Amino acid sequence: MPTSKYLKSLVISSLLFMGVAHAADIPKEVTRFVGELGISSESVRATPAKGIYELLVGTQIFYITADGKYLFAGNMLDLATKENLTDTRMKGVRLNTMSAVADDQYISYNSDKPKHTVTIFTDIDCGYCRKLHSEMDGYNKLGISVKYLFFPRTGPGTESFNKAISVWCNKDRNTALTDAKAGKSLAAATCSNPVAKHFQLGSEMGVTGTPYIITEQGDTLPGYMPPAALKRELDKFKAAAVQLEKQEISKR
């Protein structure tokens, strides 16, 4: 998992460029707009761009002009530093969102010598999810631990959704998930389960396809990647995080 120092650095970094705007500092036009949408004013932040405010809706970022006339989405870039400010902010949002998920709400395949941990939204009937899972030993041997959340793309009440519930309700969830992803039939089962919460969380985070990989630093990776390729990417993200942590320390 990411170090507490890194997480603190990332949160501080995102707050620095998206300064928290107190209610009195938010233009009345913006306050009126978010009020009409039923969104808390606490979801509004100032940005480094004069007259532009950030609006966080769930885990999605939008920008609104101070006069309340224009709402838009996209990446805000700092041309001086070349930093994607929206991306930096989103990493913090993702990590904050994922921190609310308890460890016992995942199905995990842990490496004996962990170097990285990824969270993956998965669909039992997704072809590339099955391919990724079939190479789990390869990921684990390279020091990559995997934590699964369910995201049956067909939605609640469907066969894929019910399969996820049956896996969760099995006494041996790890074996059941491996069997299900191998195309084996599982006995239908029901119990108290987090599948609907997983699906809702994925939807709020903008997941549309699987596997959807989230790194310890809050970055996302699109789709399946072979073990060696994934490790290279994770090594890069970790190195960048270490560099950021050093920069934050040097500023103190």
pLDDT surpasses 60 at 17: no
What the chain holds in terms of domains, given with CATH numbers, is 4-98 (3.10.450.70), 103-244 (3.40.30.10)
> Predicted confidence band at 246 (pLDDT cuts at 50, 70, 90)?
confident
Residue bearing the bigger pLDDT, 246 or 136: 136
> Predicted confidence band at 35 (pLDDT cuts at 50, 70, 90)?
confident
CA distance 122 to 207: 10
Residue 227: what pLDDT? Answer: 98
Q: What percent of the chain has pLDDT over 70?
A: 88
* Residue of 45, 89, 94, 126 with catalytic role: 126
CA-to-CA separations, 140 to 112, 115, 232, in angstroms, rounded: 7, 9, 14
In 3D space, the residue among 217, 203, 91 whose CA is nearest the CA of residue 150 turns out to be 203
* Average pLDDT score over residue span 241-250: 75
pLDDT surpasses 90 at 211: yes
Residue 59: what pLDDT? Answer: 84
pLDDT (tens digit per residue) in 165-178: 999 999 999 999 99
Give catalytic status of residue 126 as yes or no. yes
Q: What percent of the chain has pLDDT over 90?
A: 74
Residue bearing the bigger pLDDT, 80 or 25: 80
Phi, psi of 176 (to 5 degrees): -60, -40
Give catalytic status of residue 169 as yes or no. no
pTM of the model: 0.84
Residue 139 near residue 146, CB atoms below 8 Å:
yes
In 3D space, the residue among 236, 197, 242 whose CA is nearest the CA of residue 97 turns out to be 197
pLDDT (tens digit per residue) in 189-210: 999 999 999 999 999 899 999 9
pLDDT surpasses 60 at 23: no
* Average pLDDT score over residue span 40-56: 90
Give catalytic status of residue 232 as yes or no. no
* Residue of 45, 89, 123, 169 with catalytic role: 123
Q: Tokens 């896996």 map to which residue?
A: 167
* Residue of 45, 153, 169, 219 with catalytic role: 153
* Average pLDDT score over residue span 133-138: 98
Give the Cα-Cα-Cα angle 182, 188, 194 (nearest 5 degrees): 85
Helix orientation angle between 159-168 and 173-181, rounded to the nearest 10 degrees: 150
* Residue of 129, 130, 169, 219 with catalytic role: 129
Radius of gyration of the chain, Cα coordinates, nearest whole angstrom? 20
CA distance 230 to 236: 10
Range in 18-22, 153-157, 231-235, 243-247 with the lowest mean pLDDT: 18-22
